[in-house]
Amino acid sequence: MEQAVADLGTILSVWAHPDDETFLAGGVMGLAREQGQRVVCVSATAGEHGTNDPVTWPPERLGRVRRQESAAAMRILGVEDHRWLDFEDGTLAGVDPEVGVARVAELLDEVGPDTVLTFGADGMTFHPDHRTIHAWVTEAWRRRGRGPGVLCAAVEARFLRRHGALLETWGVYMSDERPVGVPADDLALHLPLDDAGLDRKLAALRAMPSQIEPSLEVLTLEQFRAVNAEEAFASA
């Protein structure tokens, strides 16, 4: 799998909230950095509304903490170039699409990636912010002549059959819709993480306690490890 990741070249990793990138691409990014590849990670928002307890965690406080947590996670993954677009969490679907597309197009021009990692059309969890990022990235990519490869986070079919009930217990989905598993042979990249890669990814996730501690209230460590042990991407 080292060669498959090496073949991605320079990576631009574009997501909605800090922790999206680590859940969905932490293994890929960590391995790419280990191999000396350039990785630029982008968060459109600080995830400042990402709590069920806004009294304890008002947006200004949570946004500040999540930026700090994200910096710690990026250090563990070895990602030295992490950028923020500074949109408000939860509002991306209401942003003028031309504004969002332009911001992504600027990144494509500046970074010149070989590969872009981002959400698929379902946003993995059907979160409106996630789905909007997919729309911005793919439109900017089209306008720039479809130069780099765009890989969209997906769920491998056997993984979904094996862990679907656990994902329901975790409560990750934001609507009544559910993802469709992609057969392994149809994936552009399927990365089952080895022990070292998974340990690094989980350490990065644990560096973001504001988001991870609620998950560990419903999942055991073994279950949390299982649902984060693979990363899969389909080509746009």
Q: Which pair of tokens denotes residue 167?
A: 């994902």
CATH H-level superfamily of 2-235:
LmbE-like (3.40.50.10320)
Q: Would you list the domain boundaries of the chain?
A: 2-235
| Cα(216)–Cα(236) distance, integer angstroms | 33
The pLDDT value recorded for residue 1 is 80
Q: Which residues of the chain have pLDDT under 50?
A: none
pTM, to two decimals: 0.96
The pLDDT value recorded for residue 173 is 96
Q: Which pair of tokens denotes residue 187?
A: 């994936």
